[in-house]
Structure 1
Amino acid sequence: MSRIAARFAKLKQEGRAGLVTFVMSGDPTPADSTALVNGLARAGADLIELGMPFTDPMADGPAIQAAGLRALKAGATLRKTLDQVRAFRVVDQDTPIVLMGYYNPIYRYGTEAFVAAAREAGVDGLIVVDLPPEEDAELCLPARAGGLDFIRLATPTTDDKRLPTVLRNTSGFIYYVSITGITGSGSADADSVAAAVGRLKAHTDLPVAVGFGIKTPDQARATAAHADAAVVGSALIDHIAANLGPDGGATPAMTEAAWAFVRSLAEGVRASRKG
């Protein structure tokens, strides 16, 4: 059983939803990013999405775009992202790591070489937002053959006719984007999330994680009442950005502020199904 499947099975056994946190690899520096990520699970993250910095992140809002630019300015590369996963696996063998980003850096690395290196580093899954299901032969199928889950996005505009195509080679979980538009640009209401999760569950047995609009512990709690996991990215990155020094580097308070926010989100998620 993959780490992702094992984690969702454990969450189901515990009768609760999970918290998925997204941060950008290398933001604001490789050392700061490594320290931050290595403490996310202790703060309450059940799964970790690690962004692969890219110069043209078309699906991302200002917060994540800025995080990617900070990381690139500090020398981030795809190889260094894989090194960060290796460092994480020294301290944590259980928490799933999903790399999220765009195909261009992977294409330049070489698909087969990347899949092998990612698997060796300890990566569990991929979310590549600019590869549609019609292009599964490019990366999805090689990734799955290499032992990596390939997670797809579904959106409010993914209708019942399109959904089977989206789900065809999806594994690990399905990521429901609860709003139309870029990351961090709005929030979905609980009723629409509940309806969307119900519709997805009619098409797949995969867990459903919901993201793109969760900014507070209360919103995480409301989402987790219906979904198998709540995903928080932009709001967490905002806490990182708020604790940078004048030179753009981390202050001593940065990791603690980020972990404290994750703890508050985790408390919200864990409270979602009590009583």
Structure 2
Amino acid sequence: MTQVHDTLAALRRDGSGALIGYLPVGFPDFQTSVDAAVAIAENGVDIIELGVPYSDPVMDGAAIQAATVQALAGGFKLAHVFEAVRQIRARVDVPVLLMTYWNPVIQYGPDRFADDLVAAGGAGLITPDLIPDEAADWLSASDRTDLERIFLAAPSSSDERLKTVSELSRGFVYTVSTMGITGARSEMDGAARALTTRLRAAGDNFACVGLGISSAAQVRDVLSYADGAIVGSALVSALAEGGVPAVAAKAAELATGKSQSK
């Protein structure tokens, strides 16, 4: 049993669901990114998802891409990720996952990456561009270190793929509500509910929905059928526009959607 799994299980027992908040490391600078992550945890976010800046963020929307560019221009190094996790975990008792494309992990070395993440207090990885069929190194490293591994499921996934993803994911399955890149949307895609239902049939893993959630009403809607609502672009935009106070306020607003969600 690992940190994210335990958090989701406890919330499910309480008849609620998780608010999962994404912010990139190093945006707008390293210390502010740490302070912002702490702030959202102190204002209702149950699980932190830290983004690892990458030079080719093909699955990220405009707000996150702009933040990534700024972080890289500001001198982001992969070592900053582990230091960020360490500092955040020293200040708040909230699970911290990393969202990372697979290439930086390959360059660093999967086993070394896993060891350093464990040492920093991290919970595991979300790997958007890594499919289970090609994840042998990560499956081995995460089994050895008991880190959580979160794979993506999309509306286009076959039932066989959903079964594999559910069996091999640990923590939850990242349930993509719409096809395409991330970014806040005014209306949630009905495919998310159908995909969550299919995942329930495929296995007993937790299902958390992401891509496009930007309001408390959408959080409430998603948590009526899923175990977690993942918010990224809306938090990044708030941080860009108003700093730590603004992202804290946005998290608190989103967290109101957790009430009476089930």
Aligned to 2:77: 77
Q: Which amino acid aligns with 2:90?
A: V
The alignment-based identity, stated in percent, is 37
2:54 corresponds to 1:61: no
* Cα distance in 1 between the residues matched to 2:74 and 2:260: 38
Correspondent of 1:261 among 232, 250, 254 = 250
* Cα distance in 1 between the residues matched to 2:195 and 2:19: 19
Listed one character per residue, the Cα deviations across residues 187-244 of structure 1 (whole Å, up to 9, x for unaligned) are 664753332211111111111100101111111111111110100001111111223x
* Cα distance in 2 between the residues matched to 1:191 and 1:214: 13
Q: Unmatched 5+ residue regions in structure 2?
A: none
Q: TM-score, normalised by structure 1?
A: 0.91
Q: 2:178–2:189: 8 Å Cα contact kept in structure 1?
A: no
Q: TM-score, normalised by structure 2?
A: 0.95
* Cα distance in 2 between the residues matched to 1:53 and 1:189: 26
Q: CA deviation at 1:183?
A: 0.3
- Between 1:191-200 and 1:94-103, the stretch displaced more is 191-200
* Cα distance in 2 between the residues matched to 1:194 and 1:57: 26
- SS of residue matched to 2:136: coil
* Cα distance in 1 between the residues matched to 2:105 and 2:151: 17
Q: CA deviation at 1:179?
A: 0.2
* Cα distance in 2 between the residues matched to 1:16 and 1:239: 25
Aligned to 1:26: 26
* Cα distance in 1 between the residues matched to 2:43 and 2:184: 26
Aligned to 1:130: 129
* Cα distance in 1 between the residues matched to 2:16 and 2:165: 26
Q: 1:141 to 1:188 in 2, by over 3 A?
A: farther
Q: Which amino acid aligns with 1:164?
A: K
- Between 1:47-56 and 1:214-223, the stretch displaced more is 214-223
Q: 1:17–1:270: 8 Å Cα contact kept in structure 2?
A: no
* Cα distance in 2 between the residues matched to 1:148 and 1:36: 24
Q: Which amino acid aligns with 2:94?
A: T
Q: CA deviation at 1:162?
A: 2.1
Higher helix share: 2
* Cα distance in 2 between the residues matched to 1:264 and 1:167: 31
Calculate the aligned-residue CA RMSD, in Å: 1.5
* Cα distance in 2 between the residues matched to 1:147 and 1:55: 29
Q: 1:41–1:95: 8 Å Cα contact kept in structure 2?
A: yes
Provide runs of 4+ in structure 1 moved above 3 Å: 185-192
Which residues in structure 2 correspond to 1:142-153 (within 5 Å)?
A: 142-153=141-152
Q: Which amino acid aligns with 1:52?
A: V
Aligned to 1:227: 226
Aligned to 2:261: 272
Q: 1:166 to 1:201 in 2, by over 3 A?
A: same
Q: 1:193–1:226: 8 Å Cα contact kept in structure 2?
A: no
Q: 1:178–1:188: 8 Å Cα contact kept in structure 2?
A: no
Q: CA deviation at 1:152?
A: 0.8
Q: 1:190–1:223: 8 Å Cα contact kept in structure 2?
A: no
- SS of residue matched to 2:209: strand
Aligned to 1:140: 139
Q: 1:141–1:169: 8 Å Cα contact kept in structure 2?
A: no
* Cα distance in 1 between the residues matched to 2:188 and 2:153: 17
Aligned to 2:110: 111
Q: How many residues align?
A: 262
* Cα distance in 1 between the residues matched to 2:195 and 2:36: 32
* Cα distance in 2 between the residues matched to 1:24 and 1:203: 32
Q: Which amino acid aligns with 1:86?
A: R
- SS of residue matched to 1:231: strand
Q: Which amino acid aligns with 2:156?
A: T
* Cα distance in 2 between the residues matched to 1:59 and 1:140: 23
Q: 2:26–2:71: 8 Å Cα contact kept in structure 1?
A: yes
